[in-house]
Amino acid sequence: MKERLRQIAIDAGCAGFGVTDSGEFAGVADAIEHRNETGFSGRIRFTFKSPELAADVRRSFPWAESLVVISWSYVPEAGSPGSASAGTGRIARFATVDHYNGLRRAAGAIATELQERGHRGEVLIDDDRLVDRAAAVRAGIAWWGKSTMVLDPKHGPWLLLGSIATDARLPTDDAMRRDCGSCDACIPACPTGAIVGPGMLDARRCLAHWLQTAGVFPVELRAPLGDRVYGCDDCLDACPPGFKRLGLISDTQGRVDLLDLLSATDTELLGRYGHFYIPRRRPRILRRNAILALGNTYADCGSRDDGDDCSHALVVLADLLAGPDEQLRLHSAWAIGRIGGSEAIRLLAEAQGAERVPAVRSELAAALAAATGATQE
């Protein structure tokens, strides 16, 4: 039966296939608790809200005997984000289109085969009841990288993971006898220093975390955010075992026109980016991200000779600054300050007169100080 399941996975396009038992994952609950105690888990819920549950599938599925684990490689199909240009934003490769689709289909086919043979089969992908990477490592299809990504020799870290819990007792695979050795290329590659040690991520500094989290984007991370709108690939890009896959890329998917994104309706945004994980599907988070990216891609443009290039961006941001959403006003104030120049100063000063919300008022004051300081330099 295991060989038949492997064949189904291969036919469906999976990069890896392995089996592990359903026993508790040693050290995982402690690791999650450590991330919660240190604050490294930031505002993440998922597996972090119930460490015991995430580390032991039998707590959710007492009948489970085995976990069938699969991986799906989405590069080169994801394409490269293309070259940066002002006014455009970047989407991480795992989200350029719904790459989970193929993974879900493969997992569903395996679950169906198990059920047709009279067994249970429960698909777990990005589920709070399993740490997907721990399952992949123990099933021998990947090793734990220092970026916390798991990787395999052929695809590097460019893998999505899924598991099927089953009551079938299948022969298990051995874990890979590999690790990153002396390579630590991902650690300095993180633009915000979020990888605080091998295998240890401080999510409070991880751009990917904040891009999918509602609320005010931390001010110290706004400039390092650069042109990112959703997800961050920097620690994956730096990972040598993944270079081979990146070399296969020739197209330029994964860039979005930021002004176009900001002019889209909620329905249009959910239609285009409905596959993103955005809590409670709030398009406002995407708009907030696009506003910051717009400020970054036109940074200091207003005070340079090429200032005309950003005049359209300033018009759009000025609209948002006068709009009903205080969170978008707050981030627009920052973006206008980042663009700078006399027009930015005029817009910010004008908004100050009308703004009543204290948090937005202080953001306007900071933006005005930044823009005025930059102009005087």
Residues forming the site for ligand B12 (CB under 6 A)? 27-28, 31-32, 35, 44, 46-47, 54, 92, 94, 125-127, 130-134, 144-150, 157, 159-161, 198-201, 203, 206, 208-209, 231-233, 235-236
Nearest by Cα to 294 from 322, 257, 266: 257
At its nearest, how many Å lie between ligand B12 and the CB of residue 120? 20
Instruction: Check: CB of residue 176 under 8 Å from CB of residue 69.
Output: no
At its nearest, how many Å lie between ligand B12 and the CB of residue 281? 17
CB atoms within 10 A of CB 88: 21
- The question of whether 126 is a catalytic residue gets the answer yes
Which lies closer to ligand B12 via its Cβ, residue 160 or residue 339?
Answer: 160
At its nearest, how many Å lie between ligand B12 and the CB of residue 176? 13
Q: β-strands 143-144, 150-151: how paired? A: antiparallel
Residue 106 tokens read as 């493969």
Q: β-strands 228-230, 88-91: how paired? A: parallel
At its nearest, how many Å lie between ligand B12 and the CB of residue 64? 16
Instruction: Check: CB of residue 307 under 8 Å from CB of residue 345.
Output: no
Q: Pick the catalytic residue: 30, 56, 98, 126? A: 126
At its nearest, how many Å lie between ligand B12 and the CB of residue 285? 13
Q: Is 101 helix (H, G, I), strand (E, B) or coil?
A: helix
Which lies closer to ligand B12 via its Cβ, residue 183 or residue 366?
Answer: 183
DSSP state at residue 14: -
Which lies closer to ligand B12 via its Cβ, residue 122 or residue 127?
Answer: 127
Nearest by Cα to 332 from 300, 284, 364: 364
Beta bridge partners of 68: 19, 164
Which lies closer to ligand B12 via its Cβ, residue 104 or residue 346?
Answer: 104
**How far is Cα 161 from Cα 133, in angstroms, rounded to an integer?**
7
- Write phi, then psi, for 178 (nearest 5 degrees): -145, 155
Q: Is 191 helix (H, G, I), strand (E, B) or coil?
A: coil
Looking at beta carbons, which residue is closest to ligand B12?
199
Question: Any idea of the CA torsion for 206, 36, 71, 181, to the nearest 10 degrees?
Answer: 70
Which lies closer to ligand B12 via its Cβ, residue 127 or residue 363?
Answer: 127
Which lies closer to ligand B12 via its Cβ, residue 153 or residue 323?
Answer: 153
At its nearest, how many Å lie between ligand B12 and the CB of residue 78? 10
List the catalytic residues: 126
